[in-house]
Amino acid sequence: MTRFSTPSGMTRRHFLSHLAGASAMAVPALTFAQSLADNAAELKRNHKSAILLWMGGGPSTIDMWDMKPGAPTGGPFRPINTSGDVQICEHLPQVAQQMHHLAVIRSMSTREADHDRGRYYMHTGYVPNPNVEHPSYGAVIAREMEEQVPELDVPPFVSVGGASEGPGFLGMAYAPFTVDSNGRIQNLQTDVAPRRLYERMQMLASLEKRFIGENRGSLATDHAKVLDKTLALLTSQQMQAFRVNQEPQAARDRYGDSAFGRGCLMARRLVEQGVPFVEVDLGGWDNHSNVHNTLRDKLPEVDQATSALIADLDQRGLLQHTVVIWMGEFGRTPRINGNAGRDHWARSWSAVVGGGTIRGGQAIGQTSADGSRVESEPFAAQDLMASVCRAMGISLDTTYTSKDGRPMKIANGGKVIEELFA
């Protein structure tokens, strides 16, 4: 890859501020100038981040975090003790050693048991509405935390695997930057000389400006903003954070040789770089048939990567600044169906959180003996989201204005799950 240096006769700062200025975008030239940090001082370590481990398809939490041994719905797995005051599945032995950092919320109770709707709801705290597109976790946290990391070139919301929801009314500037778990970013290389790229960008900037000036709507402006962000990436050393293969072999081994393992390792590198929100996607949980055999194969991979991530964050002093969320769009039916599988079930399921100011080692809430009902105070997507905001120090009074002028409370006005902080 050609790393370009500043065109002769121009400082690097000058070069990029020129581009930004010329391109008539909302990002002020100053932000650009500030973000040019080929040799920027090491970022401060006290920025706050969140990592969402997204279990696409709806994981069978009754087999993992809220076990019902002996119940007809319980399945074959046994619970084991952990480093916290909570028992979890025998197939998560390494996570068990990290449970003092993690809290299990066993009283998640939601109503969206369709994949699309559930994914939207759990990512945004809102049920789908044809007239408003709500911002997802990543967009909200990127927006709230980006001021902490003005030197950041990498987009503030990175999605490894790409299952996340979009920025909604917060706009394309907070859209997820989707990469695969190998950290290869396609088309990042350019063989065009810097001076020439600069001239091309000037030409392009005037085209963009003209079209935006024709008053045809926000898509035209959005394009220019994304162009600016892309340009920042082309010139940034920070992109090294995506290169998981630069990590020592021993570290890679700890996370495991799987896409999810590499994704978790990349999440740690990105958080170290200052990225406010990273989502790592692990699919394959839609186990309508053969659920337990599937889990027996799948859980070791989850166990290794998740535990390595938590331990690593802790060891590096990052965990107190980094909230980790483990969840899917819903859980699965306590009843085991005729195909030895479990179907979609939103009424009673578990999510797991840790880091930030969250007190680990505990299970919150309780379900009935067969797991089919929540018997304590039920929590919904917006409550979980509000709690994550609290754990990161984001004010719950934060209010956005949707594009049609309606005020929208952060986390849909959800109620903080107080036990997490007790």
Residues that bind other proteins (CB under 8 A): 56-57, 111, 113-117, 119, 130-132, 155, 161-163, 172, 175-178, 185-190, 196, 199-201, 203-204, 206-208, 210-212, 214-220, 222-224, 226-227, 229-230, 233-234, 283-284, 286, 288-289, 339, 343-344, 402-406
**Residue 139 or 201 having the CB closest to other proteins:** 201
Min dist CB 234 to other proteins, Å, is 8
Distance, in Å, from the CA atom of 381 to the CA atom of 403, rounded to the nearest integer, reads 23
Q: Where are the alpha helices (DSSP H) in 289-329?
A: 291-315
In this structure, are residues 369 and 67 in contact, taking their beta carbons and an 8 Å threshold? no
Angle subtended by helix axes 218-234 and 12-22, to nearest 10: 170
Min dist CB 407 to other proteins, Å, is 13
**Residue 41 or 219 having the CB closest to other proteins:** 219
Q: How many CB atoms lie within 10 A of CB 385?
A: 26
Q: In which element (H, E) is residue 231 found?
A: helix 218-234
Min dist CB 175 to other proteins, Å, is 6
The label of the residue with tokens 């840790």 reads 354
In the chain, % helix, strand, coil (3-state, to 5) comes to: 40, 15, 45
- Closest to 35 (Cα-Cα) out of 174, 186, 229, 267: 229
In this structure, are residues 49 and 310 in contact, taking their beta carbons and an 8 Å threshold? no
Distance, in Å, from the CA atom of 7 to the CA atom of 60, rounded to the nearest integer, reads 56
**Residue 148 or 402 having the CB closest to other proteins:** 402
The label of the residue with tokens 């195909």 reads 339
In this structure, are residues 51 and 27 in contact, taking their beta carbons and an 8 Å threshold? no
**Residue 70 or 130 having the CB closest to other proteins:** 130
Min dist CB 125 to other proteins, Å, is 17
Tokens for 294? 């599937």
**Bridge partners of residue 103, in order along the sequence:** 353, 362
**Residue 218 or 245 having the CB closest to other proteins:** 218
**Residue 307 or 333 having the CB closest to other proteins:** 333
**Residue 83 or 190 having the CB closest to other proteins:** 190
Distance, in Å, from the CA atom of 12 to the CA atom of 178, rounded to the nearest integer, reads 28
Min dist CB 373 to other proteins, Å, is 11
Min dist CB 133 to other proteins, Å, is 8
